[in-house]
Structure 1
Amino acid sequence: MAGSTAAERGERRRGASGPPPVRRRFGRRHLRPIIILAVALVFLGSGAFWLLYGSDLARVERVSVSGTRVLTPGEVRGAADVPLGDQLVAVDTDAIASRLREELPRIRTVDVVRSWPHGIGLNVTERTPVLVVEKGGEFIEIDGEGVRYATVSRAPKGVPRLELNTRRSGTTAASLRRFGEGRLVREAVRVTREVPAAVARATRSVKVRSYDDISLDLADGRTVAWGSGENGAAKGRALTALLKAAPDARHFDVSVPTAPASSGS
């Protein structure tokens, strides 16, 4: 009662000095490689950061251009204004793409890619004209989305002319007030996508008098009354059947595809 026995004191000493040293030795053996790995990662990270942001080993030295048809690579490079000499990793590719689309409307899409270690690639897709509008002796190109994107001095070969009757009277004026000129242009584009391929190749002009009064003039003098841009697939099938059934006709009307008609010879 007055104090611990020698056996008890021995047990306490063994309990205090036994297991902990084993755990400490185990911890020290595994802590050293962890510390070495952490230090190595720090050095590797610092080296990678320096390589990308501080060295001359990954700077922009060249700009390549692909996909152009009408535009020249020089025009694309000039509009892109890629900062030569800047660190490749720091180049703002989104800003370059936005600049190209804004300054060169002919570009429909552009993919700006880093080409390590010294290049920037500009992969361009240009718009393709499906209609042209003549104005002042020049021609405005319109693509398959109805976008007017370029003015050229000579009409592209094989592209029909769009004749938009903009006189502010009658049905045309009513259509312009209701739909707007842009919508009427898109309807004309819509028609060009639905016309049978053989007719599309022979189409000389697309005339828009109103939303539901669109017609085609063919190169051989024949005409097609198409109506609106609606039910295009059915109208295309009806026109193909009419052309076979009445090859000598001069006028075809598919504005109501369930009741197509032809006339003249």
Structure 2
Amino acid sequence: MALGSLVVLGGLVYLLGFSPVFDVRAVEVTGASSETLATIQQAASVPPETSLLWLSTADVDARVAAIPRVASVDVRRSLPGTVTVAVTEREPVAAVPAAGGVGLLDATGFVYRTAPAPPAGVPRLVLPPGVAPSPQDPATVAAVRVLEALPAALRSKVTELRAASAYDVSFTLDGRTVRWGADSEDERKAAVLGPLLTRPGSVYDVSTPDLPVVS
């Protein structure tokens, strides 16, 4: 009886630890664009004869997450031998001057790639001289938050976004200037701005949303 148990136990150890039954046979990537697919596949690759049971999904996650264009990643195992890597890529919300063209920022203020020119509907971001855009820069964060607070119909018309500081954000929309002020009461300001834009003028100040001004 004891010998039989040892045989069964030994068989399980072999099956789980050494048998090729659970070797990784496929790594499937979803959510990637054609531009980044090959890079993600390379980062997510695993050595031959790696057992799915002992694969560290955290290691795969870390390698894929290190790719600048990847905003988030979810790595999962599926028996008997498939690894699924689901990624969400960063989307540009603003552009800043950069060598060779422009740097594209996502909604966190992170510059994740360069491009020859901004994509359609992506405004230029102007920061104080010497300030580099980043998720740690208050002016950058305020600017992208203000932009994200706008209704999509208005956001797509913004051509230039300016942040002299986190408390002094403005933008150009259809040739008109909107003074937003601080990154606060964004929902209220966005609600006020829509009707305000129906009035003739060139400057629309919603920095104090209860007392908007058109001039």
Unpaired segments ≥5 residues, structure 2: none
Return the letter of the residue paired with 2:86: N
Q: 1:241, CA displacement in angstroms?
A: 2.3
Equivalent residue number for residue 204 of structure 2:
252
CA contact (8 A) 1:60 1:85 kept: yes
Secondary structure at the counterpart of residue 89 of structure 1: coil
Give the whole-Å Cα distance in 1 for the aligned partners of 2:208 and 2:3: 79
Change (3 A) 1:45 1:249: farther
Structure ranking higher on relative contact order (CA contacts 8 Å, 6+ apart): 2
Equivalent residue number for residue 22 of structure 1:
none
Q: 1:202, CA displacement in angstroms?
A: 0.7
Change (3 A) 1:45 1:157: farther
Equivalent residue number for residue 214 of structure 2:
262
Equivalent residue number for residue 69 of structure 2:
106
| TM-score with structure 2 setting the length | 0.88
Give the whole-Å Cα distance in 1 for the aligned partners of 2:34 and 2:102: 15
Unpaired segments ≥5 residues, structure 1: 1-35, 168-175
Give the whole-Å Cα distance in 1 for the aligned partners of 2:13 and 2:120: 53
CA contact (8 A) 2:27 2:45 kept: no
| TM-score with structure 1 setting the length | 0.72
RMSD over aligned Cα atoms: 2.3
The size of the alignment, in residue pairs, is 212
Q: 1:193, CA displacement in angstroms?
A: 1.8
- The share of aligned pairs that are identical, in percent, is 34
Equivalent residue number for residue 92 of structure 2:
129
Give the whole-Å Cα distance in 2 for the aligned partners of 1:45 and 1:137: 62
Change (3 A) 1:214 1:63: same
CA contact (8 A) 1:62 1:84 kept: no
- 2:172 maps to 1:217: yes
Give the whole-Å Cα distance in 2 for the aligned partners of 1:163 and 1:154: 15
Equivalent residue number for residue 156 of structure 1:
119
Q: How does 1:227-246 map to 2 (within 5 A)?
A: 227-244=181-198, 246=199
* Alpha-carbon displacement from aligned partner over 1:239-263 (angstroms, at most 9, x marks no partner): 112123x1x3222111111110112
Give the whole-Å Cα distance in 2 for the aligned partners of 1:153 and 1:48: 57
When Rg is computed on C-alpha atoms for both structures, the one with the higher figure is: 1
Return the letter of the residue paired with 1:256: T
Q: 1:43, CA displacement in angstroms?
A: 4.5
Return the letter of the residue paired with 1:236: A
Equivalent residue number for residue 138 of structure 2:
183
* Alpha-carbon displacement from aligned partner over 1:155-188 (angstroms, at most 9, x marks no partner): 2221111111316xxxxxxxx7xxx971110010
* Alpha-carbon displacement from aligned partner over 1:76-102 (angstroms, at most 9, x marks no partner): 111223223212212111011111112
CA contact (8 A) 1:52 1:88 kept: no
Equivalent residue number for residue 206 of structure 1:
161
CA contact (8 A) 2:95 2:118 kept: yes
Give the whole-Å Cα distance in 2 for the aligned partners of 1:136 and 1:53: 51
* The one of 39, 44, 48 aligned to 1:75: 39
